[in-house]
Structure formats: structure tokens, C-alpha cells
Amino acid sequence: MEYIYQEGLQTAPPLLLLHGTGGDEHSLIDLANALSPDSTVLSLRGRVSEAGANRFFRRFAEGQFDLVDLEVQTDYLLAFLIEFSNTHNIALSDWVVVGYSNGANIGAHLLLERMESPNRGIFFHGMSLGKHEADFDLAKKSVWFSAGINDPIVPQEATKALVDAFQMRHGQTDVLWTKQGHQLTYEEVASAKEWLATKGALK
């Protein structure tokens, strides 16, 4: 798996970066530096190519996801992260998964559907994929979401369904709604940074 690794301070939460469709391992580095400049950063490139655009799992069309491939890629992502964490002496639960769009979708799926996974997530413009089969308690999971009420790609109902999936299993959630579309905004970054400094901090 192609990635960028930047070692930071052990006192800062390590960040796992998952880009959106068409991005790569470089796409969210500036975001990570804005959120927590002292953090260790592991930024991954999605393994799936859609007409040359990198993704973390396949889809058949906009909003029509290949749920079989989603499970395959989620398992691969988790196995990679476990091995990487062991090699670099980082607790799996300490990672904060930072995902945008497609990266937010697989990141949220990882926390929802795999019991052995990071405990915190920052998800920009993610959505429910319509598949939540696990039922283990999420009381230890703390997740921040952002969404735009004018997002042409992610319907409000799909974001609400994702948040509900965490809340129904006792996950701790914070949600920022903006009047913007699918793009990242300064408002979102500032809110996520504040959340990370408090609820996302290492215990």
C-alpha cells in the first residue's frame, strides 16, 4: 500500500489520513498539519482505481457501492494498520482516523464494523453505505462529523443515517452542519481542530 509516514510527538494523537476520490497520499497532509502539527501522520493511497482516480473501495455508479469490495478493502486496511502499528509501537486504538468523502466512508465503516479498530474518527462529508451489520457496543468510540446542507454528492439523510448508526450503539458523536457543498472549509477544519484538542486527545 502506498503511503506517507511522518513521525511526530508521542504526546500528540497519531492521525490516519484517508483521501477522497481522485486524491492520493499527499492530499490531506496540509489538513493534518492544520489539525495537529505535532502528530504522527500515516497517509494512505486507496488501492482501487476508477478511471484513473484513486479510491478505497469500488462503486458501480455515484452512490451505488460495491459492498462486497467494501468488506475486502476494509479487511485489507485493518490488517495493514495493525501490522504498521505493531512495527511502529503505536496502539491501534490511539489512531484518529481522518477521512474525507470516500475516505470518510471507509473510515467510518471500519469503526462501525470492526471491533478491533481505532477509537476516534474525524469524518468530512461521509455517508451511510446502507450496511451496518455489527452490533458490538461503541461506547469507547468518539467521532466528529461534518456535512454541507448544499452538498450535491452526499444527501443530508445519508449523513444523518451514518451518525445514527454510531449513536444507536452508544458512540459519542459531534456533528457540524455548514451551508456549503462537498468541499472542505475553514469552518470545518477549525471545528475539527477544536474537537481533536479536547475529545480527540490521548488519554
Q: Is 182 among the catalytic positions?
A: yes
3-state secondary structure of 42: strand
CA angle 116, 118, 120 (to 5 degrees): 140
**Count of beta carbons in the 10 Å neighbourhood of residue 40:** 21
Q: Is 69 among the catalytic positions?
A: no
Q: Is 191 among the catalytic positions?
A: no
User: Given 43, 151, 174, 191, which residue is catalytic?
Assistant: 151
188 exposed, middle or buried (CB, 10 Å; 0-12, 13-18, 19+)? buried
User: Given 39, 101, 117, 191, which residue is catalytic?
Assistant: 101
Give the active site residues: 101, 151, 182
